[in-house]
Amino acid sequence: MKIPTWTLAAFLGTAPTAARLLRDNMDPANSALFTSKTMEDAFAPPAPETINLMAAGVSPVTDWIDEFIGSFKSYASSKLLGVASKIIDTLGDSIDGKDMYFNFIPKHVATLKPDGQWHHYKGRCFQDIKVRSTLQSDGTCIIEADYRNAISWTCAEYVLYGNVDDFHMQYKIIRGTETYKWTANHEKVHVFDLSTSLSNAAQGVIKTADFLLGRDVDEFLEHFNHLQFDKRSNPGHSDIAEEDIHPGDVVMVTNLQGQSAAIMWAGGSIASHTLMFLREPETQKLYAIESWAGGVRKLTFEEYLKDDAGWYNNGVLVPLKEELRESFDNDAAWKKFTTEFEGNDYGYSNFVFTSVDTLQSNYPCLPMDNYQTCLTWEFVEVTVGLVERVKPDMARLMFAQALNHRLGTEGLTLSEIIKVADANLEGGSAALPTIPEHDDWTYDTHRNGKPVEGPNRVCSALVCEMLRAGGALGDHELSCSEFTPWDIYSMDIFTTPTYQLKGDYAIDLTKPDALRLGQKPVTDDMAQKCESIITADSYYKRASEC
């Protein structure tokens, strides 16, 4: 393909380095649009580094997550848009409007081993791309990428190379071969291809960050989850009296906030949170029992109705079936709650792993290209590596402890965990999150403010524990730590009608049919090997035990 003179002139005046034209970019940092190091510098937190789970506020973990999202938005607004403005890319394939959420997630197209084997794929600009990694005598690797058959004179290919230890993004506008020297861990290097332009992806980061940090979620829920909620005729009103609530009845919460909506999407659920009602055995006073961001707590019924009573926080009472209401052992559940869980930290250490049960069909796919682009373990691997370099104690809290449990190891970093898993597990490190959580695993946590080694339970895992202690789950062998909000309300131990306790939007748990209440029996090992995604021809299709 012949390149017009004006294109070359413009490119030479705007590209990060003229070395790209000479194909002399052995050091990827010299030609990269961004590297792990530039993002680490942008995301690095101010001192002090250590997490204090008992600090003021709801949770320093949720505060850090918000800060991380905010830093990503700021990086996209300044660095990425600035770099993108200097790249000639007029392909015209922008992903706009409601498809822009998460449009920056790239396709995983290859994983390179240092064996010299070529991997072929079709890009957005170049129709024929091949890439390989070759081990050098000095212990480093050379990554070689060859680009052919561009569909336009003025389009660009954006390729991310990375693993748990490092990453960098390169771009290409002229056919030919480029080489990059890879000096980090070279046992495997994942290759990802961006589905849109860098400018459009940066705008997608900004739109997604605003969504995750805000409460404007209608567009996302309708397009990604296929869910719509109508305003209640009596907003804020409770549809049931306190005396009509029984121990073992649960509340399913649909929080119309960005991160909660994303949880609903990834987990295939109408609800993002759950809690249970129990009575104090001596006084018979009714309490809401929950594991929330601030820890495991109890609230009186009156306190629960007043707590976070905004229009967005919609709670629906889901009653146990009558025969289970009569047999439910409130005192046993109360004892388990007060002796084992009350005052503990929220289950941050296994929160990420409750929704990932299988090697395939567990990571959410995007409607932007008819569900052809999905989040992948390989991209998660790159992301958690960045978290470990930016905030190592957060990485240990949210990922490393749980993954060490799955390997039967202690104290390994994420980088070390990935290497051990790749060497020893069938399916490699991708199999790690599919190993079911054990309820007897313990974590570094706090109880009533004091450091302890104890259980970690997210909201749905705590409710499962209370249901089991009260006898509602029979004698089935199951892991409560694997339960999501969907796994709670979809069990056939619950019945209708449901009663809304708070919030301005009517939450109907009986539709759509794929997400309806009470549809599956309690079985051994339930919720452990379950798919949970939307595809082009499936809406949260699940196996019978899921």
- Give tens-digit pLDDT for 194-207: 999 999 999 999 99
Mean pLDDT of the region 484-512: 96
Judgement on whether residues 10 and 78 belong to the same structural domain of the protein? yes
Judgement on whether residues 175 and 251 belong to the same structural domain of the protein? no
CA distance 467 to 461: 10
Q: Using 50, 70 and 90 to split pLDDT, how confident is the model at 534? A: confident
Q: What is the mean pLDDT of the chain?
A: 91
- Predicted pLDDT at 54: 46
**Whole-structure pTM over 0.75, yes or no?**
yes
Share of the chain above pLDDT 70, in %: 93
Mean pLDDT of the region 64-91: 94
Q: Is residue 380 part of a domain?
A: no
Instruction: At 273, list the tokens.
Output: 């949170």
Judgement on whether residues 175 and 284 belong to the same structural domain of the protein? no
* pLDDT over threshold 80, residue 24: no
| Of residues 103 and 93, more confidently modeled | 103
- Predicted pLDDT at 90: 86
C-alpha torsion sign, points 456, 461, 462, 468: negative
Give strand ranges (E) for 56-106. none
Neighbours of 506 (CB within 10 A): 16
Mean pLDDT of the region 486-503: 97
* pLDDT over threshold 80, residue 12: no
Q: Is residue 399 part of a domain?
A: no
- Predicted pLDDT at 94: 85
CA distance 238 to 499: 8
Q: Is residue 441 part of a domain?
A: no
Domain containing residue 270:
225-234+242-351+446-539
Burial grade of 316 (CB within 10 A; 0-12, 13-18, 19 or more)? buried
Residue type, 338: T
Q: Using 50, 70 and 90 to split pLDDT, how confident is the model at 25? A: low
Q: Using 50, 70 and 90 to split pLDDT, how confident is the model at 22? A: very low
Share of the chain above pLDDT 90, in %: 79
* pLDDT over threshold 70, residue 16: no
CA distance 447 to 439: 17
Q: Using 50, 70 and 90 to split pLDDT, how confident is the model at 4? A: very low
Q: Is residue 286 part of a domain?
A: yes
Q: Is residue 76 part of a domain?
A: yes
- 58-62, 138-142, 146-150, 453-457, range with the lowest pLDDT: 58-62
Q: In the β-sheet with 189-193, what is the strand arrangement from edge to edge?
A: 34-35, 167-172, 157-162, 189-193, 107-112
Q: Under DSSP, is residue 325 helix (H, G, I), strand (E, B) or coil?
A: helix
* pLDDT over threshold 60, residue 56: no
Residue 497: asked if its preceding bond is cis (omega within 30°), the reply is yes
Do the beta carbons of residue 522 and residue 471 sit within 8 Å?
no
Query: Per residue in 100-147, pLDDT tens?
Result: 999 999 999 999 999 999 999 999 999 999 999 999 988 889 999 999
Query: Per residue in 308-326, pLDDT tens?
Result: 888 899 999 999 999 999 9
- Predicted pLDDT at 138: 87
Whose tokens are 């090697």? That residue is: 359
Whose tokens are 């062998």? That residue is: 477
**How far is Cα of residue 106 from the mean position of the Cα atoms in its chain?**
15
Judgement on whether residues 229 and 205 belong to the same structural domain of the protein? no
Adjacent-strand bridge partners of 255: 313
Mean pLDDT of the region 333-360: 89
* pLDDT over threshold 80, residue 401: yes
Q: Is residue 400 part of a domain?
A: no
- Predicted pLDDT at 541: 85
Q: Is residue 111 part of a domain?
A: yes
Judgement on whether residues 81 and 197 belong to the same structural domain of the protein? yes
Mean pLDDT of the region 172-199: 93
Do the beta carbons of residue 545 and residue 477 sit within 8 Å?
no
Judgement on whether residues 54 and 177 belong to the same structural domain of the protein? yes
Alpha-carbon distances, residue 256 vs 344, 487, 503 (angstroms): 26, 20, 10
For the chain, how many structural domains are there in total?
Answer: 2
Mean pLDDT of the region 393-416: 96
Judgement on whether residues 32 and 123 belong to the same structural domain of the protein? yes
Whose tokens are 């503990």? That residue is: 344
Judgement on whether residues 179 and 257 belong to the same structural domain of the protein? no
Judgement on whether residues 201 and 275 belong to the same structural domain of the protein? no
Q: What is the CATH number of the domain that holds 532?
A: 3.90.1720
- Predicted pLDDT at 297: 97
Judgement on whether residues 264 and 325 belong to the same structural domain of the protein? yes
Q: Is residue 437 part of a domain?
A: no
Judgement on whether residues 463 and 514 belong to the same structural domain of the protein? yes
Judgement on whether residues 142 and 258 belong to the same structural domain of the protein? no
Which among 489, 470, 471, 468 is positioned nearest to 479, based on CA atoms?
468
CA distance 245 to 328: 13
- Predicted pLDDT at 354: 79
Mean pLDDT of the region 445-460: 95
Q: Using 50, 70 and 90 to split pLDDT, how confident is the model at 344? A: very high
Task: Look at strands 295-300 and 313-318 and give their pairing.
Answer: unpaired
Whose tokens are 């919460």? That residue is: 253
Do the beta carbons of residue 167 and residue 158 sit within 8 Å?
no
